[in-house]
Structures are given as structure tokens and as C-alpha cells.
Amino acid sequence: MSCALNLSPRALEILACRELPEWQSWQWQLAHTLSASDFGIQDYPKFPLRVTPYYATLADLNAGATDPIARQFLVAQEEFLPDDFSPDPFGETAHAAIAPGIKQRYPDRILAMMNVTCSTYCRHCTRRGLLGQACRADLETLIAAIQARPTIREVLLSGGDPLLLPDEEVLRWVNALTALPQLDAVRLCTRTPVVLPMRWTDTLIEALATSGRVWVQTQFNHPNELSPEVQTLATRLARAGIPVSNQSVLLRGINDDPAVMAKLCAGLQRNRIRPYYIFLCDPIAGINHFRTSVQTAQDMRQYLLNHLGGLACPRVVADLPDATHKTDV
Ligand code: SF4
């Protein structure tokens, strides 16, 4: 492969497996994730480069870091520059915590960190400074916290990526939670549909569909992520009756062109994935180079309103630390 990046022999060998049956195994993908040394670039030790072979092949590696997919997983030089931002502006490690890995910011929802790793580390991740020190929630503590708070009607299982856990562990949590009559929905917050679609085996989909109360929340950021594998997965999830909603992040150099974002939203709707939110990129240490101006977000919102019907048009919002709801731009 001719490539602007200096791919290691290991990377070339792994990426050449694309047509082999093992490529479709999510465990194989996890066992063969690529790291900074595979791309011949400097790593960022506190939040290392990790990408699934599948997601790496969505990128045009000849274009290097200018490619909108590669830009989401390659460590950039800007990450090493000092900035004035905190790694934790939302106080995730300090407040709103009910117990380790469990927190409540809104009256009707509770969030639990079910896992602290990801198959692909998104360079723009809001939790990039926290994942290494985060705690996993305890299921029994979570259930007790929900039962003690009758206003809670929805639980968000997040991380890290909860879907990196084995089926038995995912289903232990989901089945215990969907058995609670007070909960209307269990949201699985996962980027696996984008970076590891083979994680969604028939067995898992069938088991998750049983309760009728599981929702998937994911993060597509660019139309190039809507691969044939994703289109097939979206059909399987729709047929199983599992609703999928999407929360994009507005990222400079990736999707801050309104025509690109409109194409993504239309593609999501075509695949029955609801374009739900576009988040302004949070002011987190190390990701300033991804942030856009508020004016860019407002122009984006106006363009989408002018070009898309309501069902394909997400809300453009900011997640402000002390707000009681997402704030429209
Ligand atoms: S999948 Fe989510 S938690 Fe993991 S690195 Fe990406 S944005 Fe962060």
C-alpha cells in the first residue's frame, strides 16, 4: 500500500486481512488494534492511539491526517501544546457522583460507567483525560441507587465503551436493569456501530431486543463512516426493533462544512438512525484544535434547517457544566 503515513510491517499485514473471515470477528479486531508505532508517529502516553483495523480502513491513509476519519484517531502535534483548559471541566470525577462510576445530572436519568476502555480512542473525546483514572460502576450499587430515586426513568450505560465487555456481562447488566419496572429505557452509549460494527452479532442483537426497552446511542461524525457494514447493521437493528440515535460532535476539519454534515444527517436517516444532537466540541485540555466558533455552529444549524426535514435535522447544542438541560446554540 502506498501511504503518506509510515505504516509498520505489522499494520500492513493486519490491514491486508480485510477479505479474510477473521476480519468479521470483533474479538480479532480487538486483538489487532493499531497503535502509534504502527503509523510511525509519536504517541500521546496519557491517551494513546488505538484504532480498530476496520475503522482504519475507512480512512484514506494516503491523505494522512487531512482525512476526516484519520483525523479522528491519529495523534496530532497540537495535542502536545499547552492550553488553558481543564481535563475535567464538568467535574465528572468530583461532583454529581452517587458512587464510583455512577452519577446523576438530571432528575430523570442516571449514568453508569460500565467500562473504562474503548476499541478506538477518538482524539476529540471529552473524557480523554479521565478514562485512565475512571472507575467502573457496580451493578448492585446502581440498582439500589435507581430504586432509591423514584424520578429516574432512564439509565445510560456508558464508559469507555460498554459493548467491549463480553455478551454475558452486557446482558447481566441489561437484563437486570430492564427488569426494573421504574425504567422506561436503557440506553447503551457506544461507538461500536461506527468503529466496530462486527461487535453486533445476531446473538447479541436478539438478546438485547427481548425487553423492548434497549436504545442505542452512538456517534457518527462523517458520511464516510456510513460503510456497507454499517448499512447492514442499521437494517438489522431496525428489524430487531432497537432504536438508534446519533450524537455527532462538531469538529474542525472533519465535519464543520455544512454540506458534509447535511450529507451525514441524510445518510443517517436513510439508515433509520435518528440524527439527534450535534454537540459543540467541549473545552477540554488537548482538543482545542478541534473546536469551532459558536458562529460556525449557528451557521451549521441554519443550513441544516434550510436543507433537511425535521426528522433528519438534529439539534445543535452545547453541554454546559451547570445547565439542567442541553443548551441550544
Ligand atoms: S468511544 Fe466515546 S468514550 Fe471512547 S474515546 Fe471515543 S468518544 Fe471517548
Pairing of strands 102-103, 109-113: antiparallel
Taking the C-alpha atoms of residue 74 and residue 50, their distance in angstroms, rounded to an integer, is 9
Reported as a pLDDT band with limits 50, 70 and 90, residue 2 is very low
Q: Which residue, judged by its Cα, is nearest atom 8 of ligand 1?
A: 125
- The yes-or-no answer on residue 135 being catalytic is no
Q: Which residue, judged by its Cα, is nearest atom 6 of ligand 1?
A: 122
- The yes-or-no answer on residue 265 being catalytic is no
Q: Give residue 196 CA to ligand 1 midpoint distance, Å.
A: 12
Q: Give residue 160 CA to ligand 1 midpoint distance, Å.
A: 6
- The yes-or-no answer on residue 281 being catalytic is no
Which of 67, 121, 122, 199 is catalytic? The answer is 122
> DSSP 3-state assignment of 154?
strand
Q: 229: Cβ–Cβ under 8 A, 6 or more apart, which residues?
A: 54, 197, 198
Residue 147 near residue 182 (C-beta atoms within 8 A): yes
Going along the chain from its start, the domains and CATH numbers come out as 9-80 (no CATH), 97-328 (3.20.20.70)
125 touches ligand 1 (CB under 6 Å): yes
Reported as a pLDDT band with limits 50, 70 and 90, residue 193 is very high
Q: 222: Cβ–Cβ under 8 A, 6 or more apart, which residues?
A: 68, 69, 72, 254, 255, 260, 264
191 touches ligand 1 (CB under 6 Å): yes
Cα-based distances in Å from 265 to 27, 260, 273, 314: 30, 9, 9, 8
Residue 17 near residue 23 (C-beta atoms within 8 A): yes
Sign of CA dihedral 289, 295, 299, 304: positive
26 touches ligand 1 (CB under 6 Å): no
CA-based nearest residue to 81, from 251, 254, 291, 287: 287
127 touches ligand 1 (CB under 6 Å): yes
State pLDDT tens for residues 254-300.
999 999 999 999 999 999 999 999 999 988 889 999 999 999 999 99
Q: Which residue, judged by its Cα, is nearest atom 7 of ligand 1?
A: 125
State pLDDT tens for residues 238-253.
999 999 999 999 999 9
Taking the C-alpha atoms of residue 162 and residue 37, their distance in angstroms, rounded to an integer, is 27
Q: Give residue 126 CA to ligand 1 midpoint distance, Å.
A: 8
State pLDDT tens for residues 116-142.
999 999 999 998 888 777 789 999 999
Q: Tell me the three cell numbers of residue 298.
A: 449557528
Reported as a pLDDT band with limits 50, 70 and 90, residue 91 is low
pTM: predicted TM-score of the whole model, two decimal places: 0.95
Angle at 264 between CA 318 and CA 19, to 5 degrees: 125
Residue 19 near residue 57 (C-beta atoms within 8 A): no
